[in-house]
């Protein structure tokens, strides 16, 4: 019996990815919502013993006898994030990236990412693609999914910390699902990043008719219907992470936190509803990290795991957004309810959005076809 052993795959550059729809935020939000349904059903796998690990990271020592070994400077990461996702996707993949905050001095993004999509049966590559936009859009889309189900329908005001890439995609997702938004309050570190961000908002989203640059975290949060912290910074001491104080928070506010965040005691109280993108992700992090875990991964869901370990909260006090999307738990319960959602980032998100973009590229004839082999030399 003859078999066809030829394997081709496509390479997608960043411009190819754009042409294939990677920046279509509403489509990305819808894709992430479908992905959360599969997470709730269990039709997925990630790394680690509980199948929920964020990924595997190369860690460099503080002092190495090898002069060419990278130093563990701020935001220095080399990481692989593998996953399988079932349902209509039924694909596997891995995102590999290197990150170094000093890249900015070279005119490069802080992180440089690539994603490989595979056939889950044979393991053959389907595509190898530029993944900076892929990752940025799927990350921003998660707060959008949260806002669709948990924000007040009449939300008008966004408070945003961090006018960078994550800030752009999170705002884009909020606007995609909250049609009444018209006001943005923004805090940043540098005038250039603020000016660039504001120019982008004015050009891209004319429905945002009021933009206010504010100087304090309190001003970001106070009177905002939607709040998001999207700033990067040093990890290690939670007292230096951007804080949310209960007295600042408007009744009915929805807070989505994809970056460093800490809470005061008022925000830790049981009447503030606490939602996670995937409880298993934070349990995996907690098992993998030195304690307290929030000193090592600054997203607020990790703090919730520390609180559970300290007896300050029960596991049943946190909720998965997938359960809410599936209708197995209620969405917003009242106009006064305060809800905070932690966004940790998962490789199943890359698989989901990468699969959609790949299929768009195939349909439109986008990308460069590359040959792995006609017949493998070793088999």
List, for residues 174-189, the tens digit of each pLDDT value: 999 999 999 999 999 9
b or e along 327-347 (b: 16 or more beta carbons within 10 Å of the residue's beta carbon)?
eeeeebeeeebbbbbbbbbbb
Whether the per-residue pLDDT at 73 is higher than 90: the answer is no
Give the residue-averaged pLDDT of 57-68.
Answer: 91
Task: List CB contacts of 268: < 8 A, sequence separation 6 or more.
Answer: 307, 312, 313
Whether the per-residue pLDDT at 376 is higher than 70: the answer is yes
Whether the per-residue pLDDT at 233 is higher than 80: the answer is no
A 10 A CB-CB count for 45 gives 17
Place 192 in a pLDDT band, splitting at 50, 70 and 90. very high
Give the residue-averaged pLDDT of 355-378.
Answer: 97
Whether the per-residue pLDDT at 137 is higher than 70: the answer is yes
pLDDT digits (tens, 9 = 90+) for 263-322: 999 999 999 999 999 999 999 999 999 999 999 999 999 999 999 999 999 999 999 999
263 in the Ramachandran plot: left (φ > 0), alpha (ψ -120 to 50) or beta?
beta
Strand partners, 12: 129
Place 2 in a pLDDT band, splitting at 50, 70 and 90. low
C-alpha 99/C-alpha 79 separation (Å) is 9
Give the pTM.
0.95
Give the residue-averaged pLDDT of 30-56.
Answer: 96
Contact 274, 338 (CB under 8 A): no
Which pLDDT value is given to residue 77? 84
C-alpha 120/C-alpha 288 separation (Å) is 27
Which pLDDT value is given to residue 232? 80
Average pLDDT, the chain: 96
- C-alpha distances in Å from residue 58, one per residue of 61, 72, 80, 290, 372: 10, 10, 9, 16, 28
In order of start, what are the domains of the chain with their CATH numbers?
Answer: 7-134+348-373 (3.30.1780.10), 141-346 (3.40.50.720)
Whether the per-residue pLDDT at 345 is higher than 90: the answer is yes
Give the residue-averaged pLDDT of 136-151.
Answer: 98
A 10 A CB-CB count for 144 gives 27
Whether the per-residue pLDDT at 259 is higher than 60: the answer is yes
Please tell me which residue, 64 or 201, carries the higher pLDDT value.
201
């Amino acid at each position: 019996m003859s078999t066809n052993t030829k394997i081709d795959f496509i390479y997608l550059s960043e411009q190819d990815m754009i042409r294939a729809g990677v920046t279509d935020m509403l489509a990305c939000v819808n894709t992430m919502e479908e992905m959360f349904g599969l997470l709730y059903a269990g039709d997925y796998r990630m790394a680690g013993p509980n199948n929920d690990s964020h990924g595997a990271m190369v860690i460099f020592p503080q002092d190495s006898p090898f002069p060419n070994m990278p130093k563990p400077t701020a935001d220095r990461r080399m990481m692989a994030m593998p996953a399988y996702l079932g349902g209509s996707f039924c694909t596997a993949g891995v995102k590999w990236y290197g990150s170094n905050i000093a890249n900015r001095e070279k005119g490069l993004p802080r992180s440089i990412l690539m994603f490989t999509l595979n056939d889950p049966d044979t393991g053959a590559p389907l595509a190898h693609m530029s993944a900076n936009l892929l990752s940025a859009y799927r990350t921003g889309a998660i707060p959008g999914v949260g806002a669709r189900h948990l924000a007040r329908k009449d939300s008008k005001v966004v408070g945003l910390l961090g006018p960078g890439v994550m800030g752009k995609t999170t705002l884009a997702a909020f606007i995609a699902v909250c049609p009444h938004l018209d006001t943005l309050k923004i805090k940043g570190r540098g005038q250039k990043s603020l000016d660039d961000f504001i120019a982008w908002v004015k050009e891209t989203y004319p429905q945002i008719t009021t933009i206010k640059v504010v100087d304090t975290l309190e001003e970001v949060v106070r009177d905002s219907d939607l709040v998001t912290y999207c700033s990067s910074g040093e990890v290690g001491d939670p007292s230096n992470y951007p804080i949310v104080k209960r007295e600042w928070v408007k009744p009915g506010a929805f807070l989505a936190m994809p970056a460093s965040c800490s809470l005061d005691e008022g925000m830790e109280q049981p009447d503030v509803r606490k939602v996670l993108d995937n409880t298993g992700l934070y349990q995996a992090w907690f098992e993998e990290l030195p304690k307290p875990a929030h000193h090592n991964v600054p997203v607020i869901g990790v703090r919730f795991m520390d609180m559970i370990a300290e007896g300050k909260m029960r596991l049943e006090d946190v909720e998965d957004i997938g359960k809410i999307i599936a209708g197995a738990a209620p969405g917003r319960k009242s106009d006064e309810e305060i809800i905070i959602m932690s966004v940790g980032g998962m490789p199943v998100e890359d698989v989901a959005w990468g699969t959609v973009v790949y299929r768009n590229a195939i349909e439109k004839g986008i990308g460069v076809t590359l040959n792995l082999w006609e017949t493998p030399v070793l088999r």
